[in-house]
Structure 1
Amino acid sequence: MDLIIGIAVVAALLMLIELLLPTGGVLAIIGALGLIAAGVLAFGDDGEYADYAGGGLIAFGLLSIATVLVITPKVVRAQLDEPVRTGSEGLVGQKGEVREQLNPVGFVWVDGALWKARAAKGSPEQGVGNSVRVESVDGLTLVVSPVDE
């Protein structure tokens, strides 16, 4: 029984270390396999509740492996993806279409909404139907420049 407890403790420690180190789930899977091994060994033990403990260790080990295999890829993907941009920072870089000539101020259709806009300094006047890109946001007015096509 001491061997079973020792294996289970080491396995649990490996799983806790996984929380602190970015190993991509390797330590957690090794720990879960250790729990499964301890559970299998517990079935052969003479203890009063050894079968229950073995079943619990095996179940927890299998659930841990399933969780690591499902969640770890999602976490890694989320960390590698571009951060979500919201508000005015989400508009910068978006393409739009001039709906009312920018002379000096007009309206553009960007990201499904009509916005007040003005041409960026040094940009030529933009007529209706021209494609523009949002360079910055000044209050509620977009500063746009022509799209180079």
Structure 2
Amino acid sequence: TTRNSMSASIFATNLFPSEWDKLKNDHELVPNAVAEIIRWQTPLAYMRRTALEDYEMHGKTIKKGDKVAMWYASGNRDERKFERPNDLIVDRHNARNHISFGFGIHRCYGNRLAELQLQILWQEMLKRFKKIEVVEEPTRSLSSFVKGYTKMKVRISA
């Protein structure tokens, strides 16, 4: 999932070139940008859980034993939580409020490692490269669960 966030970050900064410029001009934005990239990409679209007890929610009853799908991708694009949720905004004030890693006892065990890998990648790319340009539409993975790319051609300007 981390590699999908890495490739998505390149794709996203091509869709929103002003965000690349912000990062290029202020490397201190990288940690927040990493959280925003993870929110924007949401590497795992959803997770399924089993209700342990009956629960009433918005006038509907979820019965004990029912299977419930939690759509992280939807929560991370909730316009009630995130202004302009479909845009990548590397200095978004509430980027860390994403739910990409899950929550509670089921929170992704490797979340800090993933953030660190992305942070190091971005720090090093910004030092070394003037621009990384996606030169054709990437090929997305054929999965409703893992969001990512199987092919992305880029041109790197040093």
TM over 0.5: no
The alignment's TM-score, normalised by the length of structure 2, stands at 0.19
Which of the two has higher C-alpha Rg?
Answer: 1
More helix by share: 1
The alignment's TM-score, normalised by the length of structure 1, stands at 0.20
